[in-house]
Amino acid sequence: MNNDSSVSQQLFAALGQHLKTDLQPDNGVCALFNSQNQEMCVIEFSPHNSHALLHCAIGGALHAPDRYRELLKLNFQPDKLLGCWLALDENDELRLCAQCPVAFMTEEIFCQWVTGFIQQVSDTRLLLCRPD
Which CATH number do you get for residue 31?
Answer: 3.30.1460.10
| Burial label, 79 (beta-carbon count in 10 A; 0-12, 13-18, 19+) | exposed
Percent of the chain with pLDDT over 70: 92
Task: Give pLDDT, residue 3.
Answer: 57
Distance CA 76, CA 2 (A): 34
Task: Give pLDDT, residue 112.
Answer: 98
* pLDDT: which is higher, 69 or 116: 116
| Burial label, 117 (beta-carbon count in 10 A; 0-12, 13-18, 19+) | buried
Distance CA 106, CA 94 (A): 29
Mean predicted confidence (pLDDT) in 104-120: 97
Q: What value, to the nearest 5°, has the Cα angle with vertex 105 and ends 50 and 19?
A: 115
Domain of 73, in residue numbers: 4-129
Could you report the per-residue pLDDT of 22-52, keeping only the tens digit for each? 999 999 999 999 999 999 999 999 988 899 9
pTM of the model: 0.91
Distance CA 60, CA 38 (A): 14
* Count of residues in the chain: 132
In total, how many domains does the chain have? 1
How many C-beta atoms surround the C-beta of residue 41 within 10 A? 21
